[in-house]
Amino acid sequence: MNSEQGSIWEDRLFVLPLFVISFLVQADHLVMVPLSAEIARSTGLSLASTGLLVSIYPMAAALSAFILAPFSDRFGRKKMLLWLIVGFSLASLGCALANSVSSIFIFRILSGVFGGIIIPNALAFVGDTFDGQKKIRALTSLTLSFPIASVLGVPLGAWIGDAFSWRVPFIAIAFAAMLCVIFVFRLQGRDGIRDQGVGKQYLELLALWRQPEIRLIFAIQFLMLIGLFGFVPQLSVWLTLNFGMTTTEIGLCYMQGGVGAILGNFVARHLLQRQYLGSLISIGSLIMGVTLLGVTMELIAPFLVGVVFAITMFGGSLRMPALQVMLSDLVSVELRGRLLSMSMIVANVSMGLGGLWCLPLLSIESGRLLGMAEIGWVSFISLCFVPPLVHRLRFYLLVPASNNPRS
């Protein structure tokens, strides 16, 4: 093995434990979608409110990201990751033991508090450690945890929940997360530690909003997610009532979606190395908007729902690696942790609000969930605003035209 191959394997071994814990965090969040109806029956939560089990997680993560963001730069990525992983593991175990509406919500909030900020810390750790093409490969490998969680984590968790109990997937996630502590502890990489006081770092976190290009990219991120996450939290009840699907079948739809997401991720990696950034975000958003509108209007036969999910997730996965590369390149390493944490705050607020704004539109009549078509239209319209805003980024030189003529 030559030195270049050895370096590639060292890079992969560095990213691997961060990928695994990111996978577990994503699986913990997403597996709630197929399991939410069963959890509602077990804890006494009404079926029409099951979307709150999904949306409460990102809201808690947004609050956590705001409170804890400066501490990542102050104490280091690895130390923060170790504490967060332990807390996340205990919170997942608490979810498995919950037996009432109040207890399941408390532990979902704690899962969001600890789990929600693990991924931005992992992304910042990778961004600090690698440069150039290595950073692109590492970041796209890490963002691959989302589609892999859809392909493996969600259908496996749904099947286990069907075969045994909805509690078992959370027990498995809790113990796997604790194992990750050992491997993350052994990582050696550049760590963006700063000696500034926490108060000053909070001011720097808020000061990011003074930069027009950052406000614009956060507006794009908000529009990318606000409509989509009006749709996602309702999936379990909608597919159960309107399409007659079981928990396992819903998990299989997620698996097909995950396959599309993996393909999108690999396409994005290939095009990112050729400096396509903004176009990936625009095209991916339009693909997602059209497919969401079609499926929520129930123009698709039940056996094609999984295929539509695959196309939707393909579009979604074209966007996220490009967004992360843009964010990682926006600021210096000294501010990168705060920028990615603020990005996570924006993302989680968008996802949480997505689960809330749609509630007045939903109702159950004659055994069917109504209101999904209206949610589809909101998703479509919000995603249509993304391409013109991405185009406007050129005027702020976020991606200089001279260096990136195809963005």
Query: How high is the pLDDT of residue 110?
Result: 93
Quick check: is 401 in a domain? no
- Residues 201-216 have pLDDT tens digits of 677 777 778 888 888 8
Domain presence at residue 35: yes
Report DSSP letters for 35-84, one per residue.
Answer: HHHHHHHHHT--GGGTHHHHHHHHHHHHHHHHHHHHHHHHH-HHHHHHHH
pLDDT exceeding 90 applies to what percent of the chain? 16
Residue 406: inside a domain, yes or no? no
Total length of the chain: 407
Q: Is the pLDDT of residue 125 over 70?
A: yes
- Higher-confidence position of 302 and 369: 369
What confidence score (pLDDT) does residue 398 get? 44
CA pair distance 239, 222, nearest whole angstrom: 26
Q: State the pLDDT at residue 336.
A: 64
Q: Which structural domain, as residue segments, surrounds residue 160?
A: 3-185+198-396
Is 127 part of a structural domain of the chain? yes
Q: Determine the pLDDT at residue 134.
A: 75
Residue 39 has pLDDT above 80, yes or no: yes
Residue 193 is assigned to a structural domain of this protein: no
pLDDT reading at 407 higher than 60: no
Select from 86, 178, 177, 85 the least CA-distant residue to 125: 85
CATH of the domain at 387: 1.20.1250.20
pLDDT score recorded for residue 188: 72
Of the candidate ranges 177-181, 289-293, 398-402, the one whose mean pLDDT is the lowest? 398-402
Is the pLDDT assigned to residue 404 strictly greater than 80?
no
Q: What is the mean pLDDT of residues 144-162?
A: 79
CB atoms near residue 315 (< 10 Å): 23
**Is there a contact between 81 and 184 (Cβ–Cβ < 8 Å)?**
yes
Average pLDDT, the chain: 80
Which pLDDT does position 222 carry in this prediction?
A: 92
Q: Is residue 190 part of a domain?
A: no
The arithmetic mean of pLDDT across residues 124-135, rounded, is 74
Digit-coded pLDDT (tens) for 368-397: 889 999 999 999 999 999 999 988 876 664
* Structural domains counted in the chain: 1
At 52, is the pLDDT very low, low, confident or very high (cuts 50, 70, 90)?
confident
Give tens-digit pLDDT for 337-372: 667 677 778 887 887 788 778 888 888 888 888 999
Task: Enter the pTM of the model.
Answer: 0.70
Q: Give tens-digit pLDDT for 237-258.
A: 888 888 888 878 887 887 788 7
- How many Å apart are CA 27 and CA 21, to the nearest integer? 10
Q: What pLDDT sits at residue 376?
A: 92
* Percent of the chain residues past pLDDT 70, beyond the cut: 84
For residue 293, pLDDT over 70 is answered with yes
Give the model's pLDDT for residue 80: 84
Q: Helices H, strands E: what count in the chain?
A: 20, 2
- The answer to whether residue 192 is domain-embedded is no
Greater model confidence, 383 or 234: 383
Q: How far apart are CA 165 and CA 162, in angstroms?
A: 6
Per residue in 61-120, pLDDT (tens digit) is: 888 877 776 666 666 778 888 889 999 999 999 999 988 888 999 999 999 889 878 887
CA–chain centroid gap for 213, Å, is 22
Task: Answer yes or no: is 405 within a domain.
Answer: no
With a cut of 80, say whether residue 140 has pLDDT above it: no
Looking at residue 289, its pLDDT comes to 92
